[in-house]
Amino acid sequence: MRRRSIFGTSLAVVAAMGLAACGGGGDDSGASKTVRVTLANHVWTENIKAALPEFEKQTGLKVEITQLGEDQLSDQYNVKLNAGSSDLDVMMYRPLQEGKLFAKNKYLADLSDHVKSNKDWDYADFQPSPVEATTYEGKPVGVPIITEQEVLYYRKDLLAKAGLSAPPKTLDELKAAAAKVKASVPGTAGFVARTGKSPAVTQFSSFLYSFGGDFVDGSGKATVNSDAAKQAYAFYGGLIKDSGPANVSTDMSWPEAMAIFTQGKAAFYTEANSLYKNATDPAKSKVSDTVGFAPFPAGPAGSKPYNIPSWALGVNDASKNKSNAWKFIEWATGKEQTLAQQKAGVPGARTSVWANPEGTASYPKDLVEAITASTKDGVAHDRPVVVKVGQARELVGQPIVDAITGKDPAAAADTANEAFQKFLDDEAK
């Protein structure tokens, strides 16, 4: 049976590499004491590698790690998963980037029995939104290991200069405060954020949800031209156009937007909490001692920032070593390891660790409060949940650019919705 290519590599290339396909859903009859784990280059990975001797001593298993950059990781999965190869046991993957594709193609094993088997491991301890993002058709196919939420970064000193006593709690207050700072502090933008068509989608998503919109409705129909979506596009684009940096470009991702903020050129910035050290580290930021954090401001539908797992662990469904693969995941995502990771600055998905003072001691107090608020009503996705994520982001991101450049955001949303619906229809075939 032909299997769909993951990232565009032809299956002829797979064949040419001589990788023999093994039957999907392999059993553990040939279980090995060696667990083959493929991980991305990340501080989480480095922390796990340092702790591995403990796991190997406890279990008598040996862990063989393959560590790759994101592009190399994608290439390896493309080749091996398409071929049905069984020489991957545990996979570190991005639930919102390739999760739906992997689950749809049955590359990820159903973990339903495993997550229920150990009450001390406590699956119920994981936050609902990251769990939702690692679930497919009602079945858990991954375990979240690293989370992100969108929060408001702000400059305490600039608020004081503008006569503002506290960070804004609503989007309307944010708009007014940004305009006031820009007017009262020459040469400083009131607000900065991502502006690139694709990169901005993730941060725009929290605005969309807080206005009461989403990318699709419950039936899977495109809704980027709903009244709520049109208001969100107009608000986000207008905020940057009216209160953003002078001559702002429309190709900024987070490094460019963060640089404007950390160089002291903006008062407010909405961004992923995982990047906070760029703003608070004196070696990276000129304003490190004046940065504050606040929950994402509430819109007409309340404060609804995303709360997502940026990375998760799953088991290759073709692995013949699933039981031992799960032992590794169970250990790596347990309360002890999650606490150790979070103490090292890697935000996890366990509620108990966020409630533990040890788990938050290394974070700024106001950031912890902002993250805690985000996890209560957080939305489980920060982009359309589709197979071809990159193409979808380009489509739904166009109205952002149009709004920033002064074009009619409502008309842009209508055009985008038509194209996005066609995309969804094509993907469903």
Instruction: Express each pLDDT in 31-86 by its tens digit.
Output: 789 999 999 999 999 999 999 999 999 999 999 999 999 999 999 999 999 999 99
- Number of structural domains (the chain) is 2
Is 179 part of any domain? yes
What was the pLDDT predicted at 219?
Answer: 95
Q: Are residues 200 and 250 in the same domain?
A: yes
Q: What is the pLDDT of residue 377?
A: 81
Measured in degrees and rounded to the nearest 5, phi and psi for residue 348 equal -105, -175
Helices (H), 284-364: 322-332, 335-343, 351-355, 357-360
Amino acid at 417: N
- Are residue 216 and residue 361 in the same domain, yes or no? no
Q: Indicate which CATH number applies to the domain containing 177.
A: 3.40.190.10
User: Does one domain contain both 296 and 157?
Assistant: yes
Q: What is the mean pLDDT of residues 243-270?
A: 97
**Which DSSP letter does residue 17 get?**
T
Across the range 95-103, mean pLDDT stands at 96
Do 246 and 391 belong to one domain?
A: yes
Note the pLDDT tens digit of each residue in 118-153. 999 999 999 999 999 999 999 999 999 999 999 999
Instruction: For residue 379, give the DSSP letter.
Output: B
**Residue 322 belongs to a domain:** yes
- The whole domain housing 182 covers 149-307+380-428
Convert the pLDDT of each residue in 21-37 to its tens digit.
333 444 555 578 999 99
Shared-domain flag, residues 108 and 182: no
Contact between residue 107 and residue 85 where contact means Cβ atoms under 8 Å apart: no
Last residue of a domain, one of 343, 358, 375: 375
User: 268 with 318, same domain?
Assistant: no
Q: Looking at the DSSP assignment, which residues form a beta bridge with residue 154? A: 268, 292
Whether 29 maps to a domain, the answer reads no
| Confidence (pLDDT) at 31 | 73
Q: Percent of the chain, pLDDT > 90?
A: 91
pLDDT higher than threshold 50 for residue 10: no
- Judged on CB neighbours under 10 Å (0-12, 13-18, 19+), 23 is exposed
Contact 185, 290 (CB under 8 A): no
What pTM was estimated for this model as a whole? 0.90
In a domain, 188, yes or no: yes
Alpha helices in 60-135 (DSSP H): 70-82, 99-104, 112-117, 128-133
Residue 21: Cβ-neighbour burial (10 angstroms; 0-12, 13-18, 19+): middle
